[in-house]
Amino acid sequence: MTPPLDVALSFAGEQREYVRAVAAVLKDRGVRYFFDEENRVEVWGRNMHDVVDATYRHRALYVVMFVSADYKAKVWPNLERQTAQSRAMTQDEPYILPVRFDDTDLPGLLPTTIYEDARTTPAEEIGALIVAKVAQTRPDDDPAADDRGIGWEYMLLADSLRASLDGYDGAWRSHVAHHAEPGATTVAGDDVGKDIGRRTDVMRKILGNVNRAFEPESIERAVGADGEPGDPIEIQHLAGRMIDSYGAIMAWAADARGALVPDEAEPTYEALAVMADQPLNEIRAFVDEIGGVRDQIIAVRNDPNAAPVVLEYHLKITVDEAALAHCLALHRAFVSNR
């Protein structure tokens, strides 16, 4: 019996290098996938039409379709597309996961279908997203659900955090450059003190959300108690809560920098925005720490004699009290000079 697949990769040869990098992530994470150059022995001697039908209509949970002008122009990718679309018509849940290299209008793929963009998204991130999608939807009675290997929960957490964090790369670069669109809010001189107090309270609320998300009870609910398997949906939800707060902190800083305030209060608001640096760097360091745990787990999987993985991490996101004190000092100087 031909074994089931989690994903079948459908692409044109011009995009092979990118897809090869995606496949490397899937292989590393134990996802069952079809990538033609790695399945040469399996398909040798078989009728190619039968292979396409079995692979892209029957065996896979998903078909990841790498859309491009080259894809549309070629015979075999179109056969794979038509075969996958015949399966997609028979089920309510998504089956085809598009990844676009350009804006080619592909027959049967509606323009309203949500896609990932290979023009702006690294192959490694696409791979991590596929891993997360498969973990979320793989049937509970699938034998592979019990064969995901040691530490799969932490690997999924690491992949989900990294993929979500990378989605804010543009916002992070703008934050580091101290860039913000002006005019989000207007603050009169007499209201500066009250506004700073309100913004500081909002920041503390955001940080409280992050810290609550990573309390021991929340962690255990996601990755499972000792000896118990984790819940992939909870793991991805946990990662999403954290990175949503990461985005909220950057939005908070951008709003402070973009506020229309009296010229004398500009340094105060810049100092206020700098308060975001410490919690943002703490979150980024935590994501790197979990990524390090992921690498240790891979080492143990590959070498049973490797040092055991110590699953310890600490997360406590804090307000930069020194930056806050500087901001308040500038505000007092602003008030005294009015």
Q: Which regions of the chain does DSSP assign to beta strands (E)? A: 5-10, 33-34, 60-67, 96-100, 116-117
- Which of the 8 DSSP states describes residue 307? P
> What confidence score (pLDDT) does residue 46 get?
85
Residue count (the chain): 338
In sequence order, what DSSP letters do the residues of 258-299 get, joined into one string?
A: H-B--GGGHHHHHHHHHTTHHHHHHHHHHHHHHHHHHHHHHH
Report the C-alpha gap between 206 and 203 in whole angstroms: 5
pTM for the structure as a whole: 0.61
Tokens standing for residue 147: 């064969």
Place of tokens 């939005």: 251
Q: Which helix (H) or strand (E) holds 251?
A: helix 232-258
For residue range 177-229, list pLDDT tens digits in order. 998 888 778 888 888 888 888 888 898 889 888 888 888 888 888 888 777 77
- Which of the 8 DSSP states describes residue 2? P
> What confidence score (pLDDT) does residue 103 get?
93
CATH number of 152-336: 1.20.1420
Amino acid at position 133, single letter = K
147, 21 in Cβ contact below 8 A?
A: no
- The arrangement of strands across the sheet holding 96-100 comes to 33-34, 5-10, 60-67, 96-100, 116-117
> What confidence score (pLDDT) does residue 143 get?
45
> What confidence score (pLDDT) does residue 311 get?
59
Question: Is 5-131 in CATH node 1.10.3720.10?
Answer: no
**Domains in the chain: boundaries:** 5-131, 152-336
In sequence order, what DSSP letters do the residues of 53-102 get, joined into one string?
A: HIIIIIIEEEEEEEE-HHHHH-HHHHHHHHHHHHHHTT-SS--EEEEESS
Report the C-alpha gap between 216 and 205 in whole angstroms: 19
Distances (CA, A) of 68 to 1, 103, 127, 163: 34, 7, 18, 23
Nearest to 66 by CA among 118, 122, 108, 112: 118
Tokens standing for residue 301: 């999987």
Tokens standing for residue 51: 């292979």
- Which of the 8 DSSP states describes residue 41? H
Report the C-alpha gap between 73 and 100 in whole angstroms: 15
Distances (CA, A) of 71 to 16, 98, 101, 227, 260: 11, 12, 10, 46, 49
> What confidence score (pLDDT) does residue 104 get?
93
**Residue 308 in 3-state DSSP?**
coil
Q: Residues of the chain whose pLDDT is less than 50?
A: 1-2, 141, 143-147
> What confidence score (pLDDT) does residue 160 get?
80
